């Protein structure tokens, strides 16, 4: 809880971090596939909430490569295909720890 402008502010919610279902992946990927040809960039982030499954990330990367390599895409450049996890996500990988924290 915090005090903002002399008011108590708090947030109460319940988060689900389970991966989305295959049907939800299909729906999401269809929407993304429709939007990608007009996009200048693809940025994926779900704050570890289970939306960006391995399949979703792989297929979005493939879509980006297909569009980036097509003749109809704007010539400004190619999609890099980089994956840059946030600090919390990166900390889940073996051997990576947030800066300033002692190693185990």
Question: Which pLDDT does position 22 carry in this prediction?
Answer: 97
Q: What is the pTM of this model?
A: 0.61
pLDDT of residue 97: 60
Q: How many residues does the chain have?
A: 104
Q: Which residues of the chain have pLDDT under 50?
A: 75, 79
Q: What is the pLDDT of residue 49?
A: 86
Nearest to 57 by CA among 78, 21, 29: 29
pLDDT for residue 14: 82
What are the pLDDT digits (tens) for 45-54?
888 888 999 8
pLDDT digit string, tens, across residues 20-33: 999 999 999 999 99
What does the alpha-carbon distance between residue 47 and residue 15 come to, in Å, rounded to a whole number? 11
**Which string of DSSP letters, residue by residue, matches 52-104?**
S-HHHHHHHHHHHHHHHHSTTS-TT----------HHHHTTSTT---TTSPP-
What's the pLDDT at 5?
Answer: 72
pLDDT for 30 equals: 97
What lies within 8 Å, CB to CB, of 8 at 6+ separation is 1, 2
Q: What is the pLDDT of residue 100?
A: 57
């Amino acid at each position: 809880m915090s005090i903002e402008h002399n008011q108590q502010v708090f947030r109460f919610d319940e988060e689900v971090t389970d991966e989305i279902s295959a049907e939800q992946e299909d729906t999401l990927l269809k929407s993304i596939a429709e939007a990608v040809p007009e996009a200048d960039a693809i940025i994926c982030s779900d704050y570890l909430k289970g939306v960006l499954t391995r399949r979703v990330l792989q297929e979005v990367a493939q879509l980006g490569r297909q569009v980036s390599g097509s003749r109809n895409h704007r010539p400004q450049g190619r999609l890099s295909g980089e994956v840059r996890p946030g600090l919390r996500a990166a900390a889940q990988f073996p051997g990576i720890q947030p800066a300033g924290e002692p190693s185990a």
